[in-house]
Amino acid sequence: MDILAILKELFAGVLYLASPAGLKTLAMFVIAGVLIYLAIKKDYEPALLLPIGFGAILANLPPVIDAATGTAAESALGEHGFLTVLFNAGIANELFPILIFIGVGAMIDFSPLLKDPSMIFFGAAAQFGIFATFLVSLVLIPIVLPATAGDSSLILRLASAIGIIGAADGPTTLYVANHFNLKDYMAPISVAAYSYMSLVPVIQPPVIKALTSRKERMIRMNYNEERASKLALILFPIIVTAVAGIIVPMSAPLVGSLMFGNLIRECGVLERLSKTAQNELANLVTILLGITIGGTMVAENFLRLDTLLIMALGLFAFVFDTAGGVLFAKLLNLFRKTKINPMVGAAGISAFPMSARVIQKIAKEEDPFNFILMQSISANVSGQLGSIVAGGMVITLVSMMLGGIW
């Protein structure tokens, strides 16, 4: 082998970056860098955005060429590459979303919700954006993406996953997208879902302030710190699982895993398992889930027009979910003597507990002595349940529309 061939092989990666495909790779490196920047500098859900950003770098590294055969060698995304193995083992079979919900369930305290069950209506109202975006997506997808115009099945399935993004519930979004076999769209769908979930502190405040007056944001709400009874806290996850599984069977895997995690927390005899679910399990699965999602962000599948459409519609859904909760609270105030702070309605999305914290922060900015965190937490945990049930309903309804194909 002459010296020129040796140099060409040594610098194959550099030469690749100068090609058209390499320029797309550089663009993905920039996008990955932005995600890592938001994670480290802005502290926007670093546990998710940092692994996603790093996974995107791994997924877009120049291909390794085997000098002996001249073909592409095994890489992180090859048939046996570790990112492919993680995707098949954790997302393709829906394992990671299930495990994440066990951890989330172990972190949730349903006591505030049980003491004020009316807050569950905010978890339902804040899902408005899901169904509004689903309908808008049915119209826009064939217009913006003409290649899909003749495929009504793809349009319905894609609209379903895009709508769920508005709940700011990453695991449920992945669950719906995977159920409808949207592997080619998994990268933009998952990135949109988790990015918007991490950007709750940026997106929600302007929407809330645009729909409420300062007087409304200063409304104080009474709260009794006494917890619900232990019997109620134990029966709640069992009853919710049974009822949700009967009414919306497709929601059973996610609702069941969430409630199982919560039962471990509340039963009082599995403290070690509860702490493991809240810490080791949740942290480990979050790392694996994040880097696997990043591994789906291959340039050829991500730098497309449909990515922009999915990101835009996902933002539309998120804004409408927030607005739906606020407007529902304002509607209730027309008939209530004791007023509800309308901001609490915005916490009905699924981004637990970030949304509740954002609401409390805004309340303290208007009135340093206004504490509505527990009411916001109540709406937030009901939103967690609401998004799962909404996801199950979407799967059921769309499956019926597709004639039970899926």
The per-residue pLDDT for range 227-260, each reduced to its tens digit, is: 788 999 999 999 999 999 998 888 889 899 999 9
The per-residue pLDDT for range 147-179, each reduced to its tens digit, is: 887 788 899 999 998 888 877 778 888 888 888
pLDDT over 70 at 29, yes or no: yes
- Give the per-residue pLDDT at 287: 93
Mean pLDDT of the chain, nearest integer? 85
pLDDT over 60 at 73, yes or no: no
> Phi and psi for 360 in degrees, rounded to 5?
-65, -40
The per-residue pLDDT for range 102-112, each reduced to its tens digit, is: 999 999 888 88
pLDDT over 70 at 14, yes or no: no
For 190-203, what is the HEC assignment?
Answer: HHHHHHHHHCHHHH
The per-residue pLDDT for range 74-89, each reduced to its tens digit, is: 577 777 788 889 988 8
The per-residue pLDDT for range 260-317, each reduced to its tens digit, is: 999 999 998 999 999 999 999 999 999 999 999 898 888 888 888 888 888 888 888 8
pLDDT over 90 at 390, yes or no: no
pLDDT over 60 at 12, yes or no: no
- Give the per-residue pLDDT at 211: 92
Compute and round to an integer the Cα radius of gyration of the chain. Answer: 23
d(CA 39, CA 54): 11
- Give the per-residue pLDDT at 9: 52
d(CA 106, CA 43): 24
Smallest CA-to-CA distance from 262 within 157, 396, 107 is with 107
d(CA 221, CA 173): 33
pLDDT over 70 at 8, yes or no: no
Return the higher-pLDDT residue of 53 and 390: 53
The per-residue pLDDT for range 140-153, each reduced to its tens digit, is: 999 888 888 778 88
- Give the per-residue pLDDT at 266: 93
Distances (CA, A) of 330 to 128, 206, 334, 376, 384: 15, 17, 7, 15, 21
Torsion sign, CA atoms 236, 279, 189, 354:
positive
